[in-house]
Chains A and B, each alone.
Chain A
Amino acid sequence: MDKTINLTLKVWRQAGPKAKGEFVTYNMDHVSTDSSFLEMLDVLNEKLVKQRKEPVAFDHDCREGICGMCSLYINGHPHGLDGETTTCQLHIRRFKNGETITVEPWRSAAFPVIKDLMVDRGAYDKIIQAGGFVSVNTGGVPDGNAIPISKVYADEAMDAASCIGCGACAAACKNGSAMLFVAAKVSQLALLPQGKVEAAHRAKVMVAKMDELGFGNCTNTGACEAECPKAISISHIARLNREFLVAKFKD
């Protein structure tokens, strides 16, 4: 038999973008400690459907920590209290029997609530659309050794590229700033020869789009790095600042 525990959930319920939301309390008895947080919410929703009530809306997709769809602010932390994990990788064994868990959507002016725990993170897509890509035709796949890239740069670009765009950085930031996300997306390309060509333009247009969408100003608290499920370093923010300032001074 699995070990089971009882939990009290305080879940944010909001019928629609304009509706007034509130916390609703649900008692969850005999939750398997081996189940993931999202599986526990699935069980809750099945219960609600059986009672002919509206299930809780929440975002999820791959459930293996790579797609960036899951969100949830759990007991004061985006993606829960564990470091370097997404909500789908959070397990019930991390909670104590009888614990009350408060589940909230991301709160940021640029991420409006669609319903319940689901927010519109389209703002991040718009930032990517503004310049988070390489627009030159790179042709077929070249030989691995044809473009020399130092291991240090390759590693750092790879670290930046591990950003899944989940929005935890902006959700955790007291300023609602998206700098860590934008910095990761600028860094991953600026460090590599294919991306360097458009690096200055990219930094300018992505920052302009970020500001336009109503994200806040970074004050270097480091809360984003601490909550990032991929542990992206705020050093990338220093690189973004550098890229942007150099580009602007050249104009």
Chain B
Amino acid sequence: MWLMDSSIGRKLIMSITGVFLVLFLLFHGIMNFVVLFSQDAYNAICEFLGANWYALVGTKVLAAGFVVHIVYAIYLTFQNQKARGTVKYAVTKKQKGVEWASQNMLVLGIIVLGFMLLHLYQFWAKMQLIEISHKLGGHIEEELLANAANGAYWIKYYFSRHFYAVLYIVWLVALWAHLTHGVWSALQSLGLNNDTWMPRVKIISNIIATLIILMFISIPVYFLIGGGTNWIV
């Protein structure tokens, strides 16, 4: 199968899953941003995305997207390391115009993944997972079940502990760097680029990355500067 056997096929898979994850982040970011204006509206979205069949299908597709993207990233990096050969250069210099992020996508990806696991534990495991286990008939504590769709409660719970707010900001900065290269690189791998569009594609990439991260980061920053204490959740 050429999608696995050829280098461009493998890059196609990386770019398609990447674009899919970027679209997810855009959605997730917009959804989060709502919480700053109305906690009730945010919780309504949480309710909507509970253990319903459509949300569960969405979660499965999303998880598959993540797994494919990560597995291929590791596979591609392994191949690339092999292609470099066994003897490394004694002296290497950075080339002009080469973004730092582009050379460190795997490292950034691992940082993003590590924080994502924490994030899944802190939010997803307290929300959708609780609802799923409840539906399957598992025993759930009253208090956890009551807050399973109360996203604003969990946001306040974690981000009013400033340590976590800072941790999330570090995570989001790593994600930002990953996206600034990822978005335009995906377009390049899909063949949607030329000399005229190169600078435009890079600017579009920076705008998308920055927009996504600003929406996410506004919430921990809001809590760091003292906001959110009056939330009734």
Q: Write the residues of chain A forming the contact surface with B, with a CB cutoff of 8 angstroms.
A: 10, 21, 23, 73, 75-77, 81, 83, 102, 104, 107-111, 156, 172, 174-177, 179, 207-208, 210-211, 214-223, 225-227, 233-235, 237-246, 248
Contact B11 A177 (CB under 8 A): no
Which residues of chain A have C-beta atoms less than 8 A from B195's C-beta? Answer: 156, 233, 235
Distance in angstroms between the alpha carbons of A41 and B216 in the assembled complex: 57
Contact B99 A221 (CB under 8 A): yes
Contact A219 B80 (CB under 8 A): yes
CB of B185 within 8 Å of the partner chain: yes
Tell which of B76, B181, B193 touches A217, judged by Cβ atoms closer than 8 Å.
B76
Contact A102 B7 (CB under 8 A): no
CB distance from A222 to the nearest CB of B (A): 5
- Residue-wise, chain B 75-109 has the 8 Å CB interface mask toward A (1 for contact) of 01001101111111111110111110011010000
Give the residue name and chain of the A residue nearest to B187 (CB). Answer: A238
Interface size on B, residues (CB 8 A): 44
Give the residue name and chain of the B residue nearest to A203 (CB). Answer: B8
Which residues of chain A have C-beta atoms less than 8 A from B192's C-beta? Answer: 238, 242
- With A107-B88, A108-B84 in contact, do A223 and B95 touch (Cβ < 8 Å)? yes
Which residues of chain B have C-beta atoms less than 8 A from A215's C-beta? Answer: 7, 83
Which residues of chain B have C-beta atoms less than 8 A from A109's C-beta? Answer: 82-86
Distance in angstroms between the alpha carbons of A108 and B86 in the assembled complex: 8
CB distance from A87 to the nearest CB of B (A): 15
Tell which of A102, A108, A211, A226 touches B95, judged by Cβ atoms closer than 8 Å.
A226
Tell which of B84, B190, B198 touches A235, judged by Cβ atoms closer than 8 Å.
B198
- With A211-B6, A221-B103 in contact, do A104 and B191 touch (Cβ < 8 Å)? no
Distance in angstroms between the alpha carbons of A245 and B216 in the assembled complex: 35
CB distance from A114 to the nearest CB of B (A): 14
- With A210-B7, A218-B7, A218-B11 in contact, do A174 and B103 touch (Cβ < 8 Å)? yes
Distance in angstroms between the alpha carbons of A77 and B92 in the assembled complex: 7
Distance in angstroms between the alpha carbons of A109 and B82 in the assembled complex: 7
- Residue-wise, chain B 96-140 has the 8 Å CB interface mask toward A (1 for contact) of 111100110100000000000000000000000000000000000
Tell which of B99, B189, B198 touches A241, judged by Cβ atoms closer than 8 Å.
B189
Which residues of chain B have C-beta atoms less than 8 A from A218's C-beta? Answer: 7, 11, 189
Distance in angstroms between the alpha carbons of A220 and B102 in the assembled complex: 7
CB of B210 within 8 Å of the partner chain: no
Which residues of chain A have C-beta atoms less than 8 A from B96's C-beta? Answer: 83, 226
A-B contact count (CB 8 A): 147
Contact B194 A220 (CB under 8 A): no
Tell which of B9, B92, B193 touches A248, judged by Cβ atoms closer than 8 Å.
B9
Which residues of chain B have C-beta atoms less than 8 A from A227's C-beta? Answer: 95
Contact A234 B95 (CB under 8 A): no
Contact B83 A214 (CB under 8 A): yes
Contact B98 A217 (CB under 8 A): no
Which residues of chain B have C-beta atoms less than 8 A from A245's C-beta? Answer: 8, 12, 190-191
- With A208-B6, A241-B191 in contact, do A175 and B84 touch (Cβ < 8 Å)? yes
Tell which of B9, B76, B84, B193 touches A174, judged by Cβ atoms closer than 8 Å.
B84
- With A227-B95, A235-B193 in contact, do A176 and B6 touch (Cβ < 8 Å)? no
Contact A107 B84 (CB under 8 A): yes
Which residues of chain B have C-beta atoms less than 8 A from A238's C-beta? Answer: 188, 191-194
Which residues of chain A have C-beta atoms less than 8 A from B102's C-beta? Answer: 219-222
Which residues of chain B have C-beta atoms less than 8 A from A107's C-beta? Answer: 84-85, 87-89
Give the residue name and chain of the B residue nearest to A77 (CB). Answer: B93
Contact B8 A244 (CB under 8 A): yes
Distance in angstroms between the alpha carbons of A83 and B97 in the assembled complex: 12
CB distance from B83 to the nearest CB of A (A): 3
Distance in angstroms between the alpha carbons of A108 and B102 in the assembled complex: 20
CB of B142 within 8 Å of the partner chain: no
CB distance from A109 to the nearest CB of B (A): 4
Residue in A102, A107, A110, A225 whose Cβ sees the most chain B Cβ within 10 Å: A107
